[in-house]
Amino acid sequence: MSRQTISLLLLIAAIGLVIVAAATLVPYPNTMISDLGYHTLCPFAPWSTLTLLFLAGLAWIVRRHVDAQPA
């Protein structure tokens, strides 16, 4: 697999994780109240949000490392 392909996959992963992290905070009628005090799509918010943002940041850092390697 080429470096450009790996870089693109990591970029897509980082963007996808940020989108999913934002989706965890969307109000949604469910049975559990999140730690934020309202019904969210994910009852584990904000902890799941922070975990997903951490993983997105990690994917971004690895992508920058892959891009910085000499040809």
Q: For residue 13, what are the domain limits?
A: 3-68
Q: What is the reported pLDDT for 6?
A: 95
Task: Tell me the pTM.
Answer: 0.90
| Domains: count for the chain | 1
Q: What DSSP string runs through 6-69? A: HHHHHHHHHHHHHHHHHHTTSB---S---TTSS-BSSTTTTHHHHHHHHHHHHHHHHHHHHHHS
Summarised one tens digit per residue, pLDDT across range 35-60 is: 888 999 988 989 999 999 999 999 99
Q: What is the reported pLDDT for 58?
A: 98
| Diameter over CA atoms, the chain | 53
Residues contacting 31, CB < 8 A, separation 6+: none
CB 45 within 8 A of CB 30: no
